[in-house]
Structure 1
Amino acid sequence: MTTLTPPAAGTPHLTRWLIRLHRPALLFWTAVVVTVSGVLLWLGGPLADASAAAWRAYNACRTATCAYDQAAILHYKDVYTYTTYAVLAAPFLVAAWAGAALTGREVETGTARLAWTQSTSPLRWFASRLALPAAVVTAGTGLLVLLHHLAWSAGKGRIDSLKSWYDLPTFYANGPVVVALALAGLVAGALAGLLRRGSLPALVAGLGFTGLLWYGVQLAIPHLWTTSTAVVGLRRFAPAGGGLGVDEGIVTATGAHVSNPTCANSENVECLAFYDKFDAVGWYRDYHPASHYWPLQLTATALVLALTALLTLLAFRLLHRETGLRKGRSA
């Protein structure tokens, strides 16, 4: 296998070298963004119009034999699901590539060390590996999130089967937290490439970190903003509190809240015994209404970006320490 000679020092040279080295990945990312963007525009335009017309015809039905375009409704639903998960896959694609190719392959083949000794410093080399990909990832993922949000908004009040804002895949695909997760995946993958010294281990490590971070975000988001609370009497229906649910349970005679998401104001034997045990007088539900969407999204995005900055600082410090030790030993 032929080893490409690193370019001379200088930011323009490093940028051209990076584009040349990772041109297939750049073309693939561009193709993914353009394709998904086109489908999202189709989803929010002709598909949304066709599905809305079908729902109007369905709701106007007064007989069992009236006609409506069921295929348009199902087609919209399927395309919406596929594009939503395509947007959510972006952080994992970025993390896998960053670990396997951005740094892992160059460290594994020795190209990185050659560049450090002949053309540029390790810290400058790593900075060049992050700056341009970060811009490309932010632009591409940000465009997908924007178009997904517009496509979803085009169906509000028109398509009865449209996912609610708090449906978890929709919640994430509609907001900037996905962009922050993609940047975190980029840095995590690049850091894994430095530490694991192999493409495949770094790929797995980058994917694993991104998955764990996303899981942590899902656990944390409901608690990043003060919830609203709905309360009803015990023998009435449980409070609707339409939105992102956080907790629910009974209200005792003293006004205390005791969590119990399983009974939901049911009157079976087990639930009646539970109500009597705690002297229940009502039922409560803590939730986030639609007005909390952007506070939750922006707070989660800020936290993920802060973690990404810490990972970046850690990567630079580790690289500086490692290369500094090697220089000391060689001296």
Structure 2
Amino acid sequence: MTAATAAPQLTRRALPLVPRGTARAVLRVHRIALWAWWALVAAASAGLLWAYWLGTDAVRELSHRVSSCAADTSCVDSTLDSPTYEFYDTVTSLATSAVAYLPYLVAAWAGATLVARELESGTSALAWTQSVTPVRWLAAKLAVPAALVTAGTSVLVLLHRLMWSDARDILGQDWYLSDAYRSNGPVAVGAALCALAVGALAGLLVRRTLPALGLAVVVTLAVQNLGDLYRDSLWPAVTVTGSAASNLPSTALQLEHGVVLTSGKRIGNNLACVDNDTAVDLKRCMSKNGISDLWATYHPKSHFWPLQLVETGILLAAAALATAAAFWLLRRRTP
């Protein structure tokens, strides 16, 4: 009898990672969304891996053919219109968009389904009568999706960065462009977690499915747009003068060009004498226009990681504030 009763106990201990309690309930209730999430991650991952292993080589071979017949315009046009190039461009564009715009999907789902639908239908109140406190209910609602969103987004970011680093010479996407920037670093994870918290807070505020969805998406859109508007100011820019200001690195995010007149007046947003090929041409241009010096501010490519880390920190702080607000609101509205 002892051996017979011990066997089931050993079996239960052999599976410590199997979700239990409220975590298991969250996965069961939202299993359709879970499968849809992993399907999206799998499809985007497959596209990124194809572009990295096969697509990039095919397009590079195509570009060599373009270079070999550059003198013949019809040859160039017909080559660039090939199915290989079009398919590669479609796959990489869709994969990049999938990573960059994931926060909107997370916000829409969190606002409409994660919290608001259960509050609207009354199933949350039923759960609170089954030995699950409201705080524990919300904690599970946020913790389980947060773990899955972090894992899936991290995989996509790593694969996108792998693809982009190998093929940036043919992708035509500079590191500072919005979609490429958001898809190549931890900002994507921070934005997704912020969208999750915002969606949950919207659900608690509105308590109706469709209005909560709309509010979550609008707030997420505002957060993303604010990031695009103020990203340049998150880290000190580099300022250069003289000939260096007239020929900035090709990979630089150029912020502003300006001139200093011989009278000492400093004028911003002035592109006079920029891109002169030689020092003699630059000196002649400055003399002709009454300019004593040039200056420019820009972010070099080395600022990618500082900008990413600062913006990620801001997004995580916003997510923490939204989460704290959600728990505060839940306590105010429940006994």
Question: TM-score range with shorter-chain normalisation?
Answer: 0.7 to 0.9
SS in 1 for 2:129: helix
- Alignment of 1:195 onto 2:202: no
Distance 1:295 1:254, change over 3 A: farther
Q: TM-score, normalised by structure 2?
A: 0.82
User: CA offsets, 1:206-248, max 9 Å, x none?
Assistant: 1011111111111221111111123346xx9944343122223
- CA contact 1:123–1:320 (8 Å) conserved in 2: yes
Moved more, 249-258 or 99-108: 249-258
Q: Could you tell me how far apart the structure 2 residues matched to 1:252 and 1:66 are?
A: 48
State whether structure 2 residue 54 is matched by structure 1 residue 43: no
Answer yes or no: is the 8 Å Cα contact 1:103–1:193 preserved in 2: yes
More helix by share: 2
Flag the 1:114–1:51 CA change in 2: closer, same or farther, 3 A.
same
Determine the structure 2 residue equivalent to 1:8.
none
Give the Cα–Cα distance (whole angstroms) in 2 for the partners of residues 152 and 290 of structure 1. Answer: 14
Gaps of 5+ in 2: 1-18, 275-285
Q: Does 1:299 align with 2:271?
A: no
Question: Could you say what secondary structure the match of 2:20 adopts?
Answer: helix
Residues matched between the structures, number? 300
C-alpha change, 1:286 and 1:102, in structure 2 (3 Å) is: same
1:180 maps to 2:187: no
In the other structure, the counterpart of 1:318 is: 329
CA–CA separation in structure 2 for the residues paired with 1:317 and 1:237: 52
Q: Which residue of 2 aligns with 1:213?
A: 223
Q: Are residue 168 (structure 1) and residue 178 (structure 2) matched?
A: yes
The alpha-carbon deviation at position 259 of structure 1 amounts to: 2.4
Counterpart of 2:28 in 1: which secondary structure?
helix
Distance 1:23 1:254, change over 3 A: farther
Equivalent position of 2:108 in the other structure: 96
Residue deviations 1:57-116 (CA, integer Å, cap 9, x gap): 322347528688432334323322222112112100000000000000001111112222
Counterpart of 1:204 in structure 2 is 214
1:308 aligns to what? 319
- Partner letter of residue 259 of structure 1? G
Bigger Cα displacement from structure 2, 172-181 vs 243-252: 243-252
Contact 1:55 1:73 in 2 (8 A): no
Q: Write the distance in 2 (CA, Å) between the matches of 1:91 and 1:191.
A: 15
Residues 84 and 169 of structure 1 are in contact (CA less than 8 Å); yes or no, is this contact kept in structure 2?
A: yes
Aligned residue type for 1:109: S
Residue pair 1:257, 1:284 contacting (<8 A) in 2 also:
no
**Is the partner of 2:295 in helix, strand or coil?**
strand
1:205-244 correspondence to structure 2 within 5 Å = 205-232=215-242, 238-242=246-250, 243-244=252-253
Provide the C-alpha distance between the structure 2 equivalents of 1:215 and 1:100, rounded to a whole number of angstroms. Answer: 22
Q: 1:140 to 1:256 in 2, by over 3 A?
A: farther
Distance 1:216 1:63, change over 3 A: closer
State the distance in 1 between where 2:132 and 2:38 align: 29
CA distance in 2, matches of 1:62, 1:198: 59
TM-score (norm 1): 0.83
Which blocks of at least 5 consecutive residues in structure 1 are unaligned? Answer: 1-10, 268-274
Among candidates 260, 271, 276, match of residue 264 of structure 1: 271
- Percent of aligned pairs with the same residue? 40
Q: Which amino acid aligns with 1:222?
A: D
1:63-78 to structure 2, matched below 5 A, reads: 63-64=71-72, 69-70=79-80, 71=82, 72-78=84-90
- Kindly report the root-mean-square deviation, in angstroms, between the aligned alpha carbons of the 2 structures: 2.7
Q: 2:280 maps to what in 1?
A: none
Match of 1:251 in 2: 260
1:15 corresponds, among 6, 23, 27, to 23
Task: Tell me if the contact between 1:145 and 1:173 (Cα under 8 Å) persists in the aligned partners.
Answer: yes
Aligned residue type for 1:87: V
List per-residue Cα deviations over 1:232-270 (Å, max 9, x = no partner): 46xx9944343122223333447675322xx52279xxx
2: CA distance, partners of 1:96 / 1:34: 20
Match of 1:5 in 2: none
Give the Å deviation of 1:283: 3.4
Q: 1:256 to 1:44 in 2, by over 3 A?
A: farther
Q: Report the Cα distance in structure 1 between the residues aligned to 2:39 and 2:165, rounded to whole angstroms.
A: 25
SS of structure 2 residue aligned to 1:250: strand
C-alpha deviation, 1:297, in angstroms: 0.5
